[in-house]
Amino acid sequence: MVTLEKRPEPSEPWRWLAPLLAVALTLVAGGVMFALLGKDPVAAIRMIFWDPLFNETFAAYARPQLLVKAAPLILIALGLSFGFRANIWNIGAEGQYIMGALAAAGVALALYPLDAWWLFPLMIVAGALGGFLWAMIPAFLRTRFGTNEILVSLMLVYVAEAFQAAMALGPMRNPEGHGFPGSRNLQDYPAAHNAELVAGTGMHWGVVTAFLAVVIGYIALNRHLFGFQVRLTGQAPRAARFAGVDADRLVVICLGISGALAGLAGMFEISGPSGQVSIDFNIGYGFTAIIVAFLGRLHPIGILLAGLLMALSYIGGELAQFGLGVPAAAIKALQGMLLFFLLGVDVFTNYRLRWKPGRAG
């Protein structure tokens, strides 16, 4: 009989080995899945994970896309990771992302056609504030009435989506848009446009912000009292209270940070790659970021890598869809496998296998 036995201390090598092993297992299982679908597994895997970066035909388009897609994922996941570590579950980053985008776009559209250097910074503040305030709703309800922030934040995603549709059809609709839903395109609004900083790289202010956030997040987690309180609360809530951590305050701060970063991600997206408030400009970054956060094991560097990997699987997935006719659902399954294997393999960080003769007790 094989049983799991808790290690006296978490294994350091496994901490690093686990993600690598998870990726390897995903490649194998994904290959089997593609083979069962009648596709060439090696070609499919190569198209998803290799071609976007190194194939001459695709890389020119795909490489910049990598940063464009990874930046919002990293930014949102990083914000979520603090709360997740402290058992504060913001599932509604998608809603905060939308509200941040709407707030930023609202400022820009209200001032149209302003030509001032301070418009873009103002939009950044508005975006962060929009996401922050939207996250304060579950924070307030939880600290005041003990409601469950998972449900409240999730429900507010649907409210935000309805609000976004109303905006796209109503106040923010482009007056010169011949009655079509959707706002003016901010890409055509120079003072508000989040343009590429270096042409052809995909690098825009959101990418810069995401990298900056990773650095600040790393410092906050390891060197600052806030990060210590977050870790303590997550690992031993009673010990945290004993150590003087104010649990309610932590709920507000963690939800606030994740809301503000999600709002920022929305702002950079609406003013750049997406450009236009439409009835459905959001494409699920807020939900995918939850996977990225866990894939990166709630660690800033891990999230950076996980965000890039996830973005790669999206871009490569699209290539494989067109190039090999792999169904979109199979790409989703592949992403799911990655998380599944990571969580599965993770067990060995804290447990080891033990071979037991006879029956288990």
Partner 1 sequence: MSDAPLLVVDGITRRYPGVVANDHVSFDVGRAEIHALLGENGAGKSTLVKIIYGLVQPDEGRMLLEGTPYAPAEPREARAAGIAMVFQHFSLFEALSVAENIALGMEDPPPMNALATRIREVSAAYGLPLDPMRLVGELSAGERQRVEIIRCLLQEPRLLIMDEPTSVLTPQEVEILFRTLRRLREEGRSILYISHKLEEIRALCDRATILRLGKVVASCDPRACSARELAEMMVGSSFTQPERTQRPFGDVVLEVKDLDLPAGSPFGTSLRNVSFKVRAGEILGIGGVAGNGQEELLAALSGERTTAAGAVRLDKEAIGRLPPNPRRARGLLSAPEERLGHAAAPDMTLTENAMMTGAVRRHLVERGFLRWQAARRFAEEIVQRFDVRTAGVEHVARSLSGGNLQKFVIGREILQAPRALVVNQPTWGVDAAAAAAIRQALIDLAEKGVAVVVISQDLDELLEISDSFAALNAGRLSEPRPTEGLGIDEIGLLMGGVHGAAPASRNGAGQEETV
Site residues (CB under 8 A) for partner 1?
5, 7-10, 223-226, 228, 231-232, 235-236, 238-244, 246, 352, 356-359, 361
Work out the burial of residue 63: count CB atoms within 10 Å of its CB; fewer than 13 is exposed, 13-18 middle, 19 or more buried.
middle
CB of 141 to partner 1, least distance (A): 23
CB of 357 to partner 1, least distance (A): 8
Nearer to partner 1, 254 or 309 (CB): 254
Q: Which amino acid is at 215?
A: V
Instruction: List the one residue out of 26, 16, 8 whose CA is nearest residue 337.
Output: 26
Q: Residue 344 phi/psi, 5° resolution?
A: -65, -50
Tokens representing 156? 């507010």
Nearer to partner 1, 63 or 231 (CB): 231
Tokens 């031993």 belong to which residue? Answer: 236
Nearer to partner 1, 103 or 240 (CB): 240
Nearer to partner 1, 170 or 357 (CB): 357
Q: What span, in angstroms and rounded, lies between the C-alpha atoms of 305 and 266?
A: 21
CB of 97 to partner 1, least distance (A): 29
DSSP string of 148-213, one letter each residue = -HHHHHHHHHHHHHHHHHHHHHTTTS-TTSTT-SS---GGG-GGG----SSTTS---HHHHHHHHH
Cβ atoms of 327 and 11 closer than 8 Å: no
CB of 240 to partner 1, least distance (A): 8
Nearer to partner 1, 60 or 243 (CB): 243
CB of 9 to partner 1, least distance (A): 5
